[in-house]
Structure 1
Amino acid sequence: MVLFDEDPVELMAEATNKFHITPDKDSLTRVHESLHALHQARALRLENQTTILSSLSRKLNKVSSAHSYDVERHDAGQHAQNMLKMDTEKFRIAKGVNDAEIESERLSGELAALRQQLETLEREGVEGGRKADLAEDEMVLKLQFYRSLGIDARRDESSGEFKKAVITNAARGDVSVLDIDHGKADADLFWDAL
């Protein structure tokens, strides 16, 4: 064994003090505390992710079982039959709407015709329009009678009064034109022409 002039414990303590390891110790303590905090945060985050994963797993199992249940209950034939029934109902409703539109248009036409007839009846009044047109009807009857005899009365374009009578005798093949003065003419001229 080697003999030292000084006590080895003192020598080691003095050598240790000369190295200034206090800042290194503080750094090691801080690193150790940071590692501990990081480990705790990581453990907390891992626990949170595990909770979320287990919740999603439960939801997946629930949805999967509901899907399996629906697949087992699904009847493709019944579905096709329901679709066919709904299509039939849809077309029946569309036909009903089309028929209703056609009937509505027909009734609108009838309503317009009835309104026009009502306006005509209201315009003619209770007497049926005869009261206002009595003089004109009398004139029409006279003209029809004269035409049946072969006499055609002609109006003057300037005054609108009847000024001439055209008498056609089919038996003789003769046409005569007589002047009428103020609505009066000699009846013998008419009878001779006929």
Structure 2
Amino acid sequence: MLLDEPPATLIAQCTANFKSGPDHACLMRIGESLDTLKQFREQSMSEMQETLARLERTKKTLASQINHTLSQHNPTTHAQEILRLDTEKFKIAKQASDLEVEGERLQNEVQRLGGVLQELEEEGVEGGDREKGADEDATVLKLKVYRTLGIDVEADPTTGQYNKAVIRNAAKGDVHVVNIDPKFSRQFYTNYFWRTM
């Protein structure tokens, strides 16, 4: 009879015939995989929350800096400063242009006076077709040229050598007294005189 055997034995035999061992092992592996995925997901969520919190703090800091910058900005003062700088820029540009024109004028004047000096030196003591006094020589002519340029040359009473020059600049209202030292070249003093004039 069927009921002659204990029900537990029958159930165990029935269960053994189904061979559920591989299925049980598969369910265990699936459970372990689910646990691993859950841990990975929780870790990823934690890292993302930390990143989000850090970005939120950065956003608040930047917003605070922007608000501070905007509160410090005064459009009226900024416009006035730009206008002042533009005015100063145009003034400097005009001064530079004026100085350039004045430099060209002075250069032309120097060239003209250099030509006059060269002509006078070429004429020498005789002075070309001009009538000369007996005592007028090349030194006198040079002194006259210097005087027309605003330079007075004084001679040393003991040696008779010209060792002092007084340079007058009417445009600047300056007067320069230069002691001429023989150890410096004529070119040095010529350049110095032109710069002073």
Give 1:9 deviation, angstroms: 1.2
Residue of structure 2 in register with 1:41 after alignment: 40
The 1:20–1:72 alpha-carbon spacing in structure 2 relative to 1, beyond 3 Å, is same
Give 1:58 deviation, angstroms: 0.9
Residue of structure 2 in register with 1:55 after alignment: 54
The 1:79–1:23 alpha-carbon spacing in structure 2 relative to 1, beyond 3 Å, is same
How do 1:87-102 and structure 2 match up within 5 A?
87-102=86-101
Q: Which TM-score applies when normalising by structure 1?
A: 0.54
Mapped partners of 2:97, 2:91: distance in 1: 10
| Identity of matched residues, % | 37
The 1:80–1:5 alpha-carbon spacing in structure 2 relative to 1, beyond 3 Å, is same
Give 1:31 deviation, angstroms: 1.2
Alignment partner of 1:80 is 2:79: yes
- 1:19 counterpart letter in structure 2: F
Give 1:37 deviation, angstroms: 1.3
Residue of structure 1 in register with 2:31 after alignment: 32
Q: Which TM-score applies when normalising by structure 2?
A: 0.53
Mapped partners of 1:116, 1:107: distance in 2: 14
Please report the RMSD computed on the Cα atoms of aligned residues, expressed in angstroms. Answer: 2.9
Give 1:11 deviation, angstroms: 1.5
Asked which structure has the greater CA Rg, the reply is: 1
Give 1:57 deviation, angstroms: 0.9
Give 1:98 deviation, angstroms: 2.1
Mapped partners of 1:83, 1:5: distance in 2: 111
How do 1:1-194 and structure 2 match up within 5 A?
4-113=3-112, 124=122, 127=124
Give 1:100 deviation, angstroms: 3.1
The 1:4–1:88 alpha-carbon spacing in structure 2 relative to 1, beyond 3 Å, is same
Count of aligned pairs: 129
Mapped partners of 2:118, 2:23: distance in 1: 117
- 1:50 counterpart letter in structure 2: Q
Tell me, what secondary structure is at the counterpart of 2:3? coil
- 1:93 counterpart letter in structure 2: I
**Deviation sequence 1:82-131 (CA, Å, 0-9, x none):** 12111112212222232233234334434554565676677x38x37x69
Tell me, what secondary structure is at the counterpart of 2:4? coil
Mapped partners of 2:66, 2:11: distance in 1: 77
